[in-house]
Amino acid sequence: MRAEGVAALAPQIAGLARKLFARLYGNQDNRVSLQEVKHSGILRKLGQARSDAEEKEVFETADTNRDGVLSRGESFAFFNGLMQGSPEILVLITMLVANDPDPASTSKTVLKPP
């Protein structure tokens, strides 16, 4: 899939970003902490980080208001941007969201570390 094709999928990408956010915030507070991101392993699964330091760096980049958590908007902007920029990441996130159970059915972060 070419980048132009990814841009044509904007509504579907937005839906995936919302679903991914819902699966990341394990304590249901509508915010994603660095600990929740690390626990999920999402940045490593997507090839965005290989170490704890890289996870922290990427998280801090996504945390645009510097409050130590990702709001729904920050998370949406970050993952939407990743998917818009990379067909491979779009496919990976699609697979992760499709293969994980509904977050309402569990009280823990659903995306398991690799």
- Domain span at residue 16 reads 3-98
Domain membership flag for residue 108: no
Domain membership flag for residue 114: no
Triad 45, 81, 110: Cα angle to 5°: 40
- Please tell me the total count of domains within the chain: 1
C-alpha dihedral (53, 59, 62, 65), degrees to nearest 10: -100
Domain membership flag for residue 63: yes
Domain membership flag for residue 89: yes
Domain membership flag for residue 24: yes
CATH number at residue 34: 1.10.238.10
Centre a 10 Å sphere on the Cβ of residue 29 and count the other Cβ atoms it contains: 10
Domain membership flag for residue 61: yes
Burial class (CB in 10 A: 0-12, 13-18, 19+), 107: exposed
Domain membership flag for residue 14: yes
Q: pLDDT of the chain along its 114 residues, tens only?
A: 555 555 567 778 888 888 888 888 766 788 999 999 999 899 999 999 999 999 999 999 999 999 999 999 999 899 988 888 888 998 888 888 887 655 444 444 445 444
